[in-house]
Structure 1
Amino acid sequence: MKRFVVAVVLLYAAAALAGDTSKDVNQGPHYVMWHLYPVGEADADLARRAETAIRIHFEKLLGKRLMPQQAMDALLMVEGNEDFLRCGTGTACLARLGKEAQAERVIGGEVEKKGGTVTYRLVLIGCKDAIVINRAEVVGTARPSKYLLEEMAVAMLEPERYVGSLHVSTRPAGAAVFLDGQPVGTSPVRVDGIAVGAHRVKAARDGFLAQEKEVRIPYSNTAEVELELIEIAPPPRPFWADWPFWTATGAAVVLFAVGGGLHYDAGVLEDNAQKFRDANQPQKAAEYQDRADKRKLQAYVMYGLGGAGALAAGVIVIIDAATRGGGSSRSSGAEAGKVGLSPVVLDGGAGVSLSVRF
């Protein structure tokens, strides 16, 4: 039996080689169209009908380069070859099948049904190196249309032509565009000759958050992608870069200095008052002491105003630290970086409590 099957396969190969090689349809690699496997809600009958429609279309394009159904089924009669029925879309298994049939390429796949939608997934295997040459995923109905059959044919028989295009625009324009991590230009940009299937598009521009999106490139068509870039808010100005802090700090320094000068002058006046007391001149001593007391009062007022200025500067620093927050404190919870004011009742009065979390 094994000799008979091998003879059938060899006759198929010899017939293909002996054909009219002047015709393009009989030139090129030889193919095996293997079974399609049902997935999901699809049953064996749906997979068989889809496989038949695809095979008939491929036979028109490949002629003798496609192994006949009879010869393919004869392979399964060889002892041990029944394992090929469990190949599914496995690369190594389908490659061994192709070598057994003396073909260069094998087409396998599966049919999945969900509701009224049917997805056809085909895979093209290179038998010599056991590699996946191309994949195709097309969505249609239980009976594949002429357009879908043509798309499958291009994907499996001319994989270099199974491409589409991509047009990327951004708001604002002028962003660097990357396709699967590779730069392709500045938006708006159009890219042709992209393999059909899922790809990742990324747009980046200084001052904006980079945006990334997965896009499916259609066969012989253009996928339109528009990405809206979100502007990054500039970091808040530090407290020392604005006038309120320096105004409060400068006022505090000046007022403390004036208060210090007045306090020093009060000390000089008190020394003079003491000298007049020692000289038994009480009227003069009282005059100088009165002036000294006034200077002290003025100094204390300056000290108070200077302290208010220093306190204002300190509050500015605290609020800046609280609202700005640190990397660890901001990520530690929503309570970080909060400033709160709450009334406080005291014995014989009331006040306001300032609380800061940072």
Structure 2
Amino acid sequence: MSLITAPVSAQPAASAPAASASAPAADAPKLAIAPITISGADDPLLASQLEQDLRGGLARGSLQLLDSEAVAGVAGGPCSDDACLERLRDQLGAAFVLRAQVTVSDRDYTLRLELVATRDLGRAAESERGCELCGLAELRALTADQAARLLAKLDALAKPPPAFEVATTPPGALVFIDDQLVGAAPVERTVLEGKHVVRVMSEGYVPEERELVAVAGLRESLQIDLRRTPESLKLRGAGWGLLFSGIPLLAAGVALLAIDGYEYRGRCSGPDVDLEGRCRFVYNTDWGGGGLLAAGALLGTAGTMLLLRTRDRGKTKLRARLGPTYIGLSGAF
């Protein structure tokens, strides 16, 4: 039994499948086809022809095929160890390496293909097919067929994993994907291909659920507008009612406190004025103003607390303003 490996000429064999007219993108992942190993025969030309068949079949995919001579120079052999894979990754930028081995026994052939991802040196795909009592044409057809079967797997590996981007109005809702908490909206997570259930929840809002299908290479953006629960709407209505009921009382209390001690001009003439010119009648509104101010502050505080309790997360901006003749409350709830 003999074992040979052979690099491939840059010119494609006549029987190799034609490559697609559209070339892979410049930033597409790179694929290196390691020199083919043939055991049981001493035929360098066979290794060259089979690698050309592999290249012809794989050229229609979305990966960039690295030059065979460059690969052979870096690999220095069949690339059977991790050190070789790391050299192809580091020196040529190969994201994947395809290793092929042909075993010949009389006229029986066995073709084994192994696709390795250089990032983690793990097997991404592998296959083994046999051909009994075959000629060269049947073996080359088998090689082309196996290359075609790898195309779908390679294209899937070349694409980034699918991802969901979930945003809610208001923001901050808890996001669950397939009953697993992934974070607070807005949030982005990669998922496996297939159907997934996205559920969002926030206190005071009706939970919402969507079913999405994840496709490799696609990022699905999902915007969900949450609806308040009936209980939340009632509380917010009560909050606004208390707040607006307290504001007039606050204003009245401030006004009464402001005029407390001032002369009552309607009765400040003749006998109503003492020898020093001071009016005997003045406003005595401190108790009434203080009571109204306290009542208004109590109602306003209660209303504000209800609004804060049912606020939209991240939206609350509250400011109080106090002047010599007024009290102001501004903000977004």
Q: With structure 2 as the length reference, what TM-score do the two structures score?
A: 0.34
Q: With structure 1 as the length reference, what TM-score do the two structures score?
A: 0.32
Q: Which has the larger radius of gyration?
A: 1
Which structure ranks higher in relative contact order (CA pairs < 8 Å, sequence separation ≥ 6)?
Answer: 2
Higher helix proportion (structure 1 or 2) = 1
